[in-house]
Structure 1
């Protein structure tokens, strides 16, 4: 029973489950470890879940987008090449790469050499390679090999985007091994619930997004705080608060520093690529035609989450003097034009963080060593914009001490809260709030 609960909760780490839907398995997992008042508080929140209400279903998907794999293309390749196909249950980019090398060797081709005019073998070269295929059959295999390579590149890129999407929400939660997650029940309960809170969709609002650390997360964290068996190393990958990092060894803090820095490096290369082709208005960060806002915002989110964790580890190691020499800034997300208009109509102004962002060097250029940005220069930019450089998260990890009130997950249609899941489904099918012409739906 306990093992099944832990497996289900661990599976939720790379999905988009409603936090309240995890409370029943969490309550069963903790059992007698929680007090009666804590059990009643969990029950109150749990009554808002789909388990307690047969009509409490949600029209929103419980997963993040998963790229289509290469099963169809590999099935075709299996009929043309004799190389053994990789196991579809364990297939990875490494397996695909090994398969392509073996399959393409059958036609005297090397991976990456797929130009139909330049890289194809002529009749003489095919004879020298010992190929007994007709020109038509050879060309058919050559073209397929090229398509497989292009599909592989696309799948790898989409998988990387999905991984960074998860990091932008919950840091390293989706990479947490089951062995670390399941080592302690209290640890697993907190990580699963807090991760689900981090995965809640953003709302269309000018009041600011709800904080992930709410009353239930705080209740579960207090359980971890009171226990002697809490696995703080696992929690640190998701919630790198100063209190959590203080429980780690110096070696663990250093490893965490390296893990977050590696994410910054991964993200920096993609941000540089997207920025170069997007023509983003850096002064306002308002979306305009041609901007790939979806990709940019997920990269900015991953950068900021990793940067915050990296800074938290630096401070825990008492090594924040590094920032005196290298202090890459935060990356601002693009804002929808209608949200910007709403801000202005409500008497608001441009977010002061935008002024800091537009003044500082681009953060990936700082990380890659192409330009210099120090803690002093970031502090000066913050002060000119009227921001506290420490509390705003520009030169120190963000403060995570505040506890948000518990709130059931809202039913959203393109970010707009809708009261009924059934109504939300109809509105989504009709294309309402999508910014596109409405579609007629069957009655």
Structure 2
């Protein structure tokens, strides 16, 4: 047995773990008990935990084929985005959609249908998946796409591993001309101004905002909105133009120990938010930054989840539809700031239109925040749940480790359809997680 958790380090569970290296290993794991496939453990809560059997897919990490003309890659589920970038960026290809960490597995990215800073333009990860191969409860492997076995395809995207074990997939990468990003930083004095900045820059390929969630009053929700696009060689300084993909990798720092619980308090969080905003505001304007800095700033700090102490942390992430997002986001940020429990990591993004069977995004805005795992945070997040429901929002399963079943079912009526399909197909008797049991999926 192994003690496992998600990236939030809570909840923890003793799980029987088997590492799969071949399709045969996956088939041999199917039996009398349920299982859940687990990639690199970067979902935050309990979605990749099953005490009976957690199937470690990191042994299936082979890239099988690549078309250098179209950027089409076929790879096994355990391949990391980091592997894909290291292999193909030097040849002018980059993931078309990426979350905030490159340490997520391909299977995990599909199971969560992760999104990035370009959802408003390009949609989620699944928009660039051509097909997936999934092993079902009977050990049979089915290839699913938009044109064939479309129910399986649609519910596997965002289905958190509950439709079967993802073995392989074909995805499309994005052609780029350098390893650099042209970033424009726009400081805003309020949350309202930040949303205005998003709306005025819907043509930007990438957009994201860090929000000061600790300041109240006339500067409520002041933000740093960061726009970006892949730099062309002529946009680079002269010393980088001849080798536009030569980006020096920075040596990652590591958090060496668990921070004590008292280190995170309203004063330290408020001080951090004040400093971070002022430093960002001084860098306002256009800059050339490397791809790693722009997309994955937290990856530069290994084990950064230890700053929340041994008890870990919860991430709250919701998406509000366009018609309620402006007022609803104001209510959320106002409630957080008033609580004195502002987050270090408060991220706002614009979502575009998305029609999907069970994936998280909906057109509007999404807000993500981290809170230490304690009673005060749980009380605050209960209040944030209510605000989300009142504004027609929904919750992100890849970040969730605590939303009550009644709240989730109210927020996302698609859950009932998904649960019914799982029963009908027999998926519920073979594939389950602590999250699916908690939410009644």
Report the TM-score when normalising by structure 1.
Answer: 0.21
Which is strand-richer, 1 or 2?
Answer: 2
Which is helix-richer, 1 or 2?
Answer: 1
Taking CA–CA contacts closer than 8 Å with sequence separation of 6 or more, which of the two structures ends up with the larger relative contact order?
2
Report the TM-score when normalising by structure 2.
Answer: 0.21
